[in-house]
Structure 1
């Protein structure tokens, strides 16, 4: 147990583009409720609208009218990583939570996460235990460097046709090592919930904005390893409603391919 310390500052950034109103309302309500449970911590929500901004601002105002919210809009659709970078430099904080607008955060999740990072100064980013909201099954956010066959399956093959690639997909998602204990230093983590130390994010200049969408979280994971350790924490629980590019049509599939090629050129991928 540590002594009472100086007030910490938590920034929460959510980037939206034509958001689902119900999902965004659930995300905002849950994350602010969870943040309120953190001892000795102030919270600032940064909503980054990559659309015209009116819908997101209205949803947040109706959901949490007393919350301290900084709304950034009018910059156009600059992409996921660039939007979060705007939030990263808009407010001063000690911890920065990168959050998708389709995530529900458990009431005690952020208290557990911040407490862990306060006790482990070598940890620069924490990834949570994610669950499917309809089945409560685990979503595997930690990943190994993928092969091209795995990326093809993830990006284009519907789940019901992936049986022959299941062993490779399971290895990619680290199902052989992910259980009920801490997992230290996973090579890659998915970006729906990334709690990081602000100084570490700023040291590497945040996301690489050349990724418009997809793979920017993997790239960030690899670059953050130069600043300290990454950990997956089984007691930090979220529920994530997101889906892969295969479910979202040709435009998303094209963005997936373009980002995959950029990631391969920068980091290399096995065939």
Structure 2
């Protein structure tokens, strides 16, 4: 039997939000729930323990990635790490679909679900690897960004077939623990934002990252950096760190990865359409 741990990183989240995600994680049979609390006080400890979660308080707030990396140390012999945002909710059946998929497909290092908003609308979280234009222009020049985002956000993708993608959202990921440990987990230089982009790029060097539409979760997705100037600066800093690491405008590897991903996704979509002519875009359950 495989061993799975769900890691949730919280920071002064609404208590009802924490209760919801704890209940979701606790409902997965055989799953260990691990909470890293970066809040100034440990006021959520009793709540977490009441759901049977293991709890660690890190008031120094080392960041999203560094906090998730603690799972490597606490659970070194586990098979699958579920990286779970506190602002999501899901059924145990959907989580198990992802766990089963990654355990049955040994060439897969990470699998992510279809993600919807609370109103049922689709969140387009499958993306290509970003260029500086994708990140900076889309934040400060919306009209130009809309043109760039058509391909970057794969707006033409149907979201109804399983495909390999180069960039997966960190709001919910099932990751092969062996590979996560091998690459050192998240790069802890990223306090918050772009840490999932960087992780995706390093994971994909060891296997496939798969979008799996049969599993569906709900994500509140607050886009906090669009509302908070301090978080905007954190976002910009992370973007600079990311491009300093991987390359700015002349990143040939990025271009190759994106081109191959687009070709393969279009091929899978064409094959699915041939097999099922009524196959159309689905924006929710």
Report the TM-score range of the alignment, normalised by the length of the smaller protein: 0.7 to 0.9
In the TM superposition, what are the counterparts of 1:244-259 in structure 2 within 5 Å?
244-259=223-238
Give the drift of 1:86. Answer: 1.0
Structure (1/2) with the larger helix percentage: 2
1:96 aligns with 2:84: no
Q: Distance in 1 between matches of 2:67 and 2:15?
A: 19
1:233 aligns with 2:218: no
**In 2, Cα distance between the equivalents of 1:25 and 1:154?**
34
**CA 106–122 in structure 1, closer or farther in 2 if over 3 Å, else same:** same
User: Is 1:199 aligned to 2:193, yes or no?
Assistant: no
Bigger strand share: 1
State whether structure 2 residue 150 is matched by structure 1 residue 148.
no
Shift of 1:52: 3.6
- Provide the residue aligned with 1:268 in structure 2: 247
- Aligned partner (choices 66, 72, 76) of residue 82 of structure 1: 66
Query: What corresponds to 1:20 in structure 2?
Result: 14
Tell me if the contact between 2:49 and 2:55 (Cα under 8 Å) persists in the aligned partners.
no
**Matched residues in 2 for 1:21 and 1:152: separation?**
34
Cα distance in 2 for residues equivalent to 1:118 and 1:72: 28
Q: Distance in 2 between matches of 1:97 and 1:212?
A: 19
Please identify runs of 4+ aligned residues in structure 1 that moved more than 6 A. none
Count of matched residue positions in the alignment of Structure 1 and Structure 2: 249
Aligned mates of 2:158, 2:190 — CA distance in 1: 28
Runs of 5+ consecutive residues of structure 1 not aligned to the other structure? 1-6, 37-41
Q: Which residue of 2 aligns with 1:128?
A: 113
| C-alpha contact 1:154 1:246 (8 A) present in aligned 2 | no
- CA RMSD of the aligned region, Å? 1.9
**Following the alignment from structure 2 to structure 1, what is the Cα–Cα distance between the partners of residues 248 and 120?**
32
Q: Which runs of 5+ in 2 are unaligned?
A: 251-285
Question: Are residues 241 and 153 of structure 1, via their aligned partners in 2, closer, same or farther at CA, if it must alter by over 3 Å?
Answer: farther
Match of 2:42 among 51, 54, 57: 54
